[in-house]
Amino acid sequence: MREEILDNRLETEEDGGQRSKMWLSNSHPAEVPVTEVENILKTNKELGLTRGQAEERYATFGFNELVAKEEEPVWKKYLEQFKNPLIILLLCSSMVSLFMQQFDDAASIIMAITIVVTVSFIMEYRSEQTLEKLKKLVPPSCVCRRDGREERFEARQLVPGDLVLLTTGDRVPADLRLVTCVDLAVDESSLSGEVEPVLKTCETLPRKENMATSEMVNTAFMGTMVVTGRATGLVVSTGRKPSLGRCFK
């Protein structure tokens, strides 16, 4: 039996050395009926995955979390800016100026190097702070249905095929293809910058080339906030595969 999985595409577990074909696009889950998504993910839109299925998929997908590279000391990050070939060339130029006793030129070059390196370091540091803020958009826990039973557990344990339950005030833990929704409105400002909540539906969308995230109204995206209503949705991507994860990457 084949099991298809999503990595902006669906790959199966090995079955006679064969693998299934990929998703046509990132919006493909939004453009097909829920029953087809259910079949592709080998799950159940009412009962969710079994615990055994979830355990097997951990090995394939890993945990549903945004992981950055290990933190380095600030001084080391600053010194790494000097690895830039242009900076090295300027340093060599300043040494030549010192050797030729052109101290004014050497001082000017060193000052320019200091300014460039400092600005570059500040920009990189701010980028890392932004990554930390993105990580906080992923909720620590969520309500999921496995083996037909609802329970709250860590959002990092979600895998494609899980059935997640959303209600007012919840932050979406992964990209979900909505199965049911009642008066669901989601704040997607963390992704699109739009301040108005987006009304969601579970209806299949017509196929469209290069469908924008804002047009995928039957999908709830990782890191967005449920403003009103309630819904259930099948996890179609986790970790760095969702829209938020791609921004993080």
How is domain 10-65+139-248 classified at the CATH fold level? 2.70.150
Provide the β-strand partners of residue 201. none
Q: Which residues contact 184 (CB under 8 A, 6 or more apart)?
A: 166, 178, 199, 200, 201, 220, 226, 228, 229, 230, 231
The domain segmentation of the chain, as residue ranges, is 10-65+139-248, 74-135
pLDDT tens figures, 76-120: 888 888 888 888 988 898 898 888 888 888 899 999 999 989 898
Cα-based angle 162, 165, 170 (whole degrees, multiple of 5): 120
Q: Of 89-98, 134-143, 147-156, which gets the smallest average pLDDT?
A: 134-143
Mean pLDDT, the chain, integer? 80
Burial class for 186, CB neighbours closer than 10 Å (0-12, 13-18, 19+)? buried
The DSSP symbol for 113 reads H
pLDDT of residue 162: 93
Which among 41, 70, 57, 32 has a CA at the least distance from the CA of 234? 41
